[in-house]
Amino acid sequence: MQNPYVPIPVVVDKIITEVDTKDIKTFRLAFQNKQDEENFKYIPGQFAELSVFGKGESPIGIASSPTQKGYIEFTVQRAGLVTSFLHEMEEGTHMGVRGPLGNSWPIEFLEGKNIVVVGGGFAFTTLRSLINYMIHGDNRKRFGNITVIYGARNPGLLIYKDELKEWEKRDDLNINVTVDKGDDTWKGREGFVPAVCREVAPSSDNAVAVICGPPIMIRFTLPVFFDLKFSKENIITSLEMRMKCGIGKCGRCNVGHKYVCKDGPVFSLAELDKLTKEY
Amino acid sequence: MEKRLIKKDVLAGIVGKIAGDVNLVAPVKEEDNVLFELVKDGVTALSSYRNTKNAPKAFFFPRSETLMRYTRKEKGYEFTGLGEDVSGQTVIFGVRPCDARSFVILDLLFDQDKYKDPYYIEKRANTTVVAVGCTKPPYSTCFCTSVDGSPMSTEGADVFLTDLGESYLAEFLTDKGEKLLKYFGDAKADAGAEKKKEEIAQAAAKEIKKTIPAHEIKAWLDANFEHPFWETVHKKCLACGTCTFMCPTCHCFDIQDEVKAADGKRIRNWDSCMFPLFTRETSGHNPRTSQKERWRQRFMHKFRYYVDMFGPIACVGCGRCVMSCPVNIDIRKIAEDISKL
């Protein structure tokens, strides 16, 4: 019987500091055993428990795309016991990963449709996974137009800055990066994500919006998409809850009779409407 | 199915023999309480008792359990092995029918198709459950008949004993149970013994005076996550968590790491939805901000969510939470009150 509580051994291959405040870093993890790498089959939107013996575990969305071979990436904000430890780590450290866990962005449902990706601040990690997956040469044809709207409070807080620049050079991707407030060197767009969504006004025709961000952004962004006539079935988001086991047993991340760790974290607004409002 | 009839005075000898061969867990007297414990030399397993203070779930899902061990190496800790060896065979003797049903209910959670909990499943597979029917339901707080159980339900039992007065009827219900046949002698049960058991079962079920509308309230629960009634349930709750720790079906747990010098272990401990920290996130956000939300969660989990997820109600009607709540919150009364709304 496979033991779902035992972490897969990995080594920290690379650490990238993403933001000026230095409290968000991306950890590139390589598997210690080749077989584990082959077995770790994931889909964008899934997460894993980052496991640090002596400290505990933290559920974090997978930020890399399965099209990137040889490693998995996680972008982590320094917040609690485990994430603070992660931020103190050096490259070469041995740690563990449990996963992949949870459902995923509904790739089959997204196929053949125009995709609008909306992200805010640090909640852009599994969206980045989705974007990299969709724009990969093997997959790009499976999706229609891809529009990305991504915002942060200021230019220094944008994550994946180099990648954003690369994406801007592509002609098969409409990317709109915005900051609430620019600085002296910022030449890009200024404005809150909801306002930029209204300005970009993606068509709801055969389109799905995939939205992730802080609650305040979600609150003001959803009405924009309702105005654009996106149905609740075609607005998809991802929930966060305190988790421990990650496999629907320890009993703390339920929303009604659904466990966010096992039945989520990805839900459409139509699905969320059917659940209790407790998240 | 094999059935045996055994004289009452030989039961203690049978239990003693089993204890000599395998681990035996049975009700023992511990100061003023009767508790399920691993029977060691010099301890007598009780043959006459009402029910145990503690639920026997702890022998499959311990209060504190090592999941794995690890040790410090140059580049970080490395996994070195799992927790305690649980490969030994165990017999749990004297489980009441309500508690035996709790195992079946917990199996649904710990032994799912996709994610199996090896710690629970292994102990469960290595354990034979000998249940003793409640010929006289022990407490006024018993309400098993309202939640699909009965004082003589054999669900979850491998061997089922019925007190017929002079002797016990022993029914060997599963392959695991039949492995214990050798201890029970050759006296086969006759039709008379079975008829007597039937009569006792019918009389016992009538002895459960308290019934609650456990199924009837489901529709209300489905429709009323938000309702002023929830403002009233938790008012006197101290958030002590006793109800969840006594409950035979509560299964929530926490996972923690403990390190001493170079060696560490990852442990899971019982946790409780009654505690504010249970759902509090690192950011400080808590989806269940007050005891109101926590009580609603506990009640909904048992009578609505578990039903939606797996079928049965996650309550066996043992009454432990009713008896042990320090401020007399009565889950039966909550169900009744809801049925009147």
Q: What is the pLDDT of residues B294-309, one digit of tens each?
A: 999 999 999 999 999 9
> For B293, which of A57, A92, A278 is closest by C-beta distance?
A278
Q: Which of B207, B231, B261 is the last residue of a domain?
A: B207
Q: Which structural domain range is residue B103 located in? A: 2-207
Q: Is the bond leading into A106 cis (omega within 30 degrees of zero)?
A: no
Residue written as tokens 């620019």? A182
Q: Are residues B185 and B327 in the same domain?
A: no
CB B253 within 8 A of CB A244: yes
Per CB-CB distance under 8 Å, the chain A contacts of B78 are 9, 53, 94
Residues 6+ apart with CB under 8 A from A115: A134, A143, A144, A145, A146, A147, A207, A208, A210
Amino acid, single-letter form, for residue A145: N
Q: Supply the pLDDT for residue A186.
A: 93
Question: Are B279 and A252 a contacting pair at CB < 8 A?
Answer: yes
Query: In this structure, are B14 and B123 located in the same domain?
Result: yes
- Which residue type sits at A49? E
Task: Provide the pLDDT for residue B43.
Answer: 78
Q: How far is A125 from chain B (nearest CA, A)?
A: 18
Question: Is B296 in the same domain as B149?
Answer: no
Residue B213: inside a domain = no
What pLDDT, on a 0 to 100 scale, did the predictor assign at position A2? Answer: 86
The partner residue sitting opposite B77, judged by closest CB among A53, A247, A252, is A53
How far apart CA A257 and CA B46 sit, in angstroms, is 40
Q: Is residue B126 in some structural domain? A: yes
Helix or strand holding residue A76 (H, E): strand A72-77
Asked whether residue B161 is domain-assigned, the answer is yes
Report CA torsion sign: B246, B251, B255, B258.
positive
Does the beta-carbon distance from A241 to B279 stay under 8 Å?
yes
Which residue of chain B has the CA closest to A89? Answer: B76
Residues B266, B288 share a domain? yes
A interface test, pick of B57, B73, B77, B108 with most A CB neighbours within 10 Å: B77
pLDDT at A132 > cutoff 90: yes
**B251 shares its domain with B188:** no
- From B207, B240, B260, the end of a domain falls on B207
Query: Per residue in A150-161, is it b (16+ CB within 10 Å) or e — as a string?
Result: bbbebbebbbbe
pLDDT at site A256: 94
ipTM above 0.85, yes or no: yes
In this prediction, residues A127-132 reach a mean pLDDT of: 98
User: Which residues from chain A sit within 8 angstroms of residue B309, using beta carbons?
Assistant: 257
What's the pLDDT tens digit per position in A142-178?
Answer: 999 999 999 999 999 999 999 999 999 999 999 999 9
Q: What is the mean pLDDT of chain A?
A: 95
CATH number of this structure's domain A8-101: 2.40.30.10
In whole angstroms, give the CA distance from residue A227 to residue A222: 9
Sign of CA dihedral B28, B31, B35, B36: negative
Taking CA–CA distances from B108, the nearest residue in chain A reads A249
Residues B36 and B144 reside in one and the same domain: yes
Q: What's the total number of domains in chain B?
A: 2
Buried residues in A18-36 as b, exposed as e (16+ CB within 10 A): bbeeebbbbbbbebeeeee
Supply the pLDDT for residue B85: 74
B255 to A244: CB separation less than 8 angstroms, yes or no: yes
| Fold for the domain defined by A107-238 | Rossmann fold (3.40.50)
Domain membership of residue B241 (yes or no) is: yes
Over chain B (341 residues), the average pLDDT of each successive run of 10 is: 90 90 91 88 80 92 95 89 83 95 98 94 95 92 95 96 92 96 89 91 91 95 96 94 96 96 95 95 92 96 97 96 96 96 92
Q: Do A251 and B251 touch (CB under 8 A)?
A: yes
Q: In this predicted structure, what is the pLDDT of residue A162?
A: 95
A59-94 per-position pLDDT tens digit: 999 999 999 999 999 999 999 999 999 999 999 999
Residues B232 and B318 in one domain: yes
